[in-house]
Amino acid sequence: MNNFKGYQTFLNETFLTALTVTSTQSLQKYAVKFRNALDNLKEVTTIVTGVSKTQNLDLVFFISYLLSLISVSHLNMFSHIIIAWLWLRQVEIVTKSLESEPYDDDVNFYNEKIQAMKYFF
């Protein structure tokens, strides 16, 4: 649909987040993991869409389903990356908020967000 414009926009936003988060020392290793996952998603999606240019996309995913459920795995990978992206974005904002001397209760909340992101990763 529209030459995967929505997918391209998603990739641009997520790569931008990875780049931004990389500049925060405490988040660098998570940014690297996230970037690696994005690279894997991009590679798998390129393979699937490449095949779809010569085959009917429904047929591609049906054959993939029959041959070890690749289509379901692709969707699972995509959803995990979206959740990871949301965690990184939250922690990016939290990290900036911690620099502005927040209230003690807010500090606890922000630190819990960071811990949850670390657990997810």
pLDDT band, residue 51 (cuts 50/70/90): low
Domain that holds residue 87: 2-120
pLDDT band, residue 101 (cuts 50/70/90): confident
pLDDT in tens, 5-49: 888 999 999 999 999 998 888 889 999 999 999 998 888 888 766
Task: Pick the more confident residue, 111 or 4.
Answer: 111
The count of domains in the chain is 1
pTM over 0.85: no
What does the DSSP assignment read for 33-77?
HHHHHHHHHHHHHHHHHHHHTTS-HHHHHHHHHHTT-HHHHHHHH
Q: Quick one: 50 exposed, middle or buried, by C-beta within 10 A (0-12, 13-18, 19+)?
A: exposed
CB-CB contact of 70 with 64 (8 Å): yes
DSSP reduced 3-state for 95: helix
Output the CA angle 99-100-101, nearest 5 degrees. 95
